[in-house]
Chains A and B, each alone.
Chain A
């Protein structure tokens, strides 16, 4: 009896030592099969029970089971430890240099001119204006005649025009859209509020500040009680939205054939904040747009009664807005599409 127990005690002791010495899961598994398997020493000890008395057998059997449980538990503990160590090693191997560059995802950019257009569009859409797109090849009468610029009007000198023939031309401003929209508008549905952004053309030699093609946006708001105070309120809002709330804005008289009274709008210079610098030609102010109360002749030409309806119109250069906002110094860059230029405007 005691010899069997002694054997079991020795087995347990030796087994635990081996288990704890095992280096990896395979070795541990071998030990397990060795110790606890059908041909293992414990099975062998138990086989020796045949020689014991009936009374002795339960005690020894119970003891043998305890030894088996102890060894099983020890193996399990060791297994967990070895598995944890294995994961640790794997993680250590998998560690990356997180400072290596990410695999690039190619993204295109939206042209800065269109970004400018869309920013302004959203400001005016929010104020209930719609976006109207007219023709780039226009009739002379919509580009000039209906805008209070009859043939031989001196103001036509201000705009050098690309003509296709004497009646058809490339629009020199976005005002033709205003004339067309005004003609078609049904005032019983409410006031007419529109903006028209687009390409315009002038017979200019391209250089850093001139381009034969550029973008303009004009807008018009005609209704029964639209005032010059509304003009000021609307344009001040739009300008502050675009150029920043801290800009000072001033309105001063000007001249356009299609408006009366006419307005030129200046903002305080970004660079010098009004002190005077090369950007603002030492005036402290930068001209940003022209506007005015729509001339009665323009309303009449569109079949609108100037005694009943009136309102304001404005026009601004998209290229100029973008140049001012981002400090771009050469207008040609907009149309050369150098990717190193395009990608700067996110």
Chain B
């Protein structure tokens, strides 16, 4: 809401600067976004009088104008505006002046003719196209005949004002009017408001003689009031009125329309004017539209109406979308002579829905949907009628046609000083509280610190105790409230074990070279579906902004691949990322709300170690990834060791380089190489990923950490090298060794794997170090030899191993 400082000053006595006022208003309740001085930066722009014009000898559109710029000086100015004419008072930018956009005007020559300055259009001195009156949109502006030659133009155009731009929150719609803001400012500065009394002269002819009205459902229009004005002359408004409009960001149109806008700005009460001659009859009816009805609105568009739209009709045909937009057919035109003026209160939600439905949010609809001051519905109507009598020569017919009328009533709310201080943590006295309510203009009675407050209709945002406490707090000053750190009982502030473990996992991955990524949780349906650990149905939003962000992810890998692809496209080829976040899973398509599971995933592409001056590059491979996943899993300290089982079940993964991670018979994750077909789609080289279901892992049994004595007796090792069929896995061999190793076998470590020369085709050689340890005594060679022989025998029988 743009508020003119000068207009405000007519209602409240203000002696501070507009900037000081803005700061105070901001700190007390309504944020002021900025203060604009329309004449800021302008210089030497004065009223000129065009004495004569003649065509430029060397141009078909320029005019040579003799312009009087002071009592005793007339100069030649070249002007290209089509509407320049002798006898006009115009805006002259003198040589050495500054106009909009800090542009300097100098004396010069245009096609050989001297020009001592420039005759200006409003836009050239800073007016926006939105507020420039239509008739001056494409030419120079013509000032009123009584403008004094040589004087600065700013005061004539309202540019010596200051405009405060108020950011009105939805609860403070009372400040969507100059009067509302005047009340607010008066409360802040402990002043009184003074509004001028307007006298209305009515004709003897009664409005009810020419117009009847009815409201079908009183809930739709709890207050509906019309006046009829005859003998109206449509013409431009006087300059004082136009100034007020354009300083508020509203374009002047004609006197009748301008008056409705002025009253809306003044009172916050939107008005509508109909051309009586065009409504077709003598009836106005407020009802709901029927499904088959249409209306061509003022913007020329035909609208298909619905039963949720409140409309104004002539008893049969729809004239208006109530409170939102008028119809083209009953619009005020230059030929209008009889005007019906409407001032009403409409049901806010329907107005809001209608405005949204047709994308027609206007100054009027936004006020109706937030509420209007029920105390000034009639006053606003009468003031408008009175102005039309003055400015449009209208005859105001006697009486209002009011099928519904609201009785404005104060709302009573109670609050105590004790309660206020308890909520605010203050020691404000009863007298101070009383003074604040009085400054606000509320009726107040007090007994023993308990207040009964009568809130007038103009503050319809106040209904409960908390609202009054807020009024006291803000007028007392938020800056004066003390700052304390709770007197309440102390509470433990702790992360849960789960939260701590997740942080720990992240630190482990980062220490191993992976950076944390946060990807979009909404993705394409295909990407949401890929890389699922547990089969799930997708959850999509109803109206996505784009298909790229339509479906909730069911895996974290796709997002990481997006990130890797983003990096690769920017020549960042060696990237290792991980993400911890949620996936959204559900078993049945019919289920609306998915389960939210915490997952952990990683993706590595390119070199695990990049080449340096002292070591070669090391491209990422399966076993590096596996080592990383193993150390991550080790952080869970599970009682059951996770196992890795080859799988080809993941469509998007390399069928020969992927393993499911199992704990017991639960699949808790997978790892491996992304299927080359998929990495190609992302334009990535070989890429390795893992994905873990943290929910399952966190639910598994963890070992209790207990101290074990550090061995005091030496361990003995034995190496074994064996040749087996290529299909025999390390897991199978290790299992055999462990099962047959005896109670002293403490570790089995693979230290060599070989296939090729000197090994038969289809065979491979593996070498293990077996470590034997007795924690109670020194082991003898005989004990170890005996145990080792059993392992050798078992490997030979179970895996047809040849011992080398």
Contacts and interface: CB of A to CB of B under 8 A. Distances in A.
Interface stretch (A20-28, A47-55, A73-81, A333-341): A333-341
A225 B421 CA distance: 11
A131 interface: yes
A95 interface: no
Contact of B422 (A162, A225, A236): A225
B104 to A, nearest CB: 24
Interface in B143-180: 169-172
B570 interface: yes
B356 to A, nearest CB: 8
B543 A234 contact: no
A135 interface: yes
B613 interface: yes
Interface string A218-257: 0001011111111011101100000000000011111100
B482 interface: yes
Contacts of B425: 227-230
Given A165-B592, A253-B470, A109 B516 contact: yes
B596 A137 contact: yes
Contacts of B518: 111, 113-114, 334-335, 337
B522 A310 contact: no
Contacts of A124: 493
A109 B483 CA distance: 37
Contact of A225 (B488, B570, B577, B593): B488
Nearest to A195: B493
Interface in A246-273: 250-255, 260-264
Nearest to B542: A163
A237 B485 contact: yes
Interface stretch (B217-225, B503-511, B700-708): B503-511
A15 interface: no
Interface in B612-662: 612-615
Contact of A152 (B349, B567, B584): B349
Contacts of A255: 169-172
B491 A193 contact: yes
A128 B513 CA distance: 34
A227 B423 contact: yes
B516 A110 contact: yes
A201 B522 contact: yes
Contacts of A340: 570, 572
Interface residues of A, number: 90
B491 A190 contact: yes
Interface string A311-346: 000000000000000000000001111111011000
B482 A111 contact: no
Interface string B693-704: 000000000000
B370 A261 contact: no
B369 interface: yes
B215 interface: no
A292 to B, nearest CB: 9
A125 B494 contact: yes
A130 B487 CA distance: 18
A172 B578 CA distance: 26
A313 to B, nearest CB: 13
A103 B613 CA distance: 9
A238 B261 CA distance: 47
Given A168-B592, A227-B484, A229-B425, A108 B541 contact: no
Interface in A91-142: 100-101, 103-104, 106-111, 113-114, 118, 121, 124-131, 133, 135-137, 139
Nearest to B482: A229
B436 interface: no
Interface stretch (B130-138, B248-256, B473-481): B473-481
A205 interface: yes
Contact of A108 (B479, B544, B566, B576): B576
Contacts of A121: 495
What are the 9 tightest A-B residue pairs by CB atom distance, in nearest-first order? A229-B425, A227-B425, A106-B513, A255-B169, A261-B470, A108-B510, A125-B493, A337-B563, A128-B491
11 contacts: A108-B516, A124-B493, A126-B493, A130-B491, A168-B593, A227-B484, A229-B481, A232-B481, A252-B31, A336-B563, A337-B515
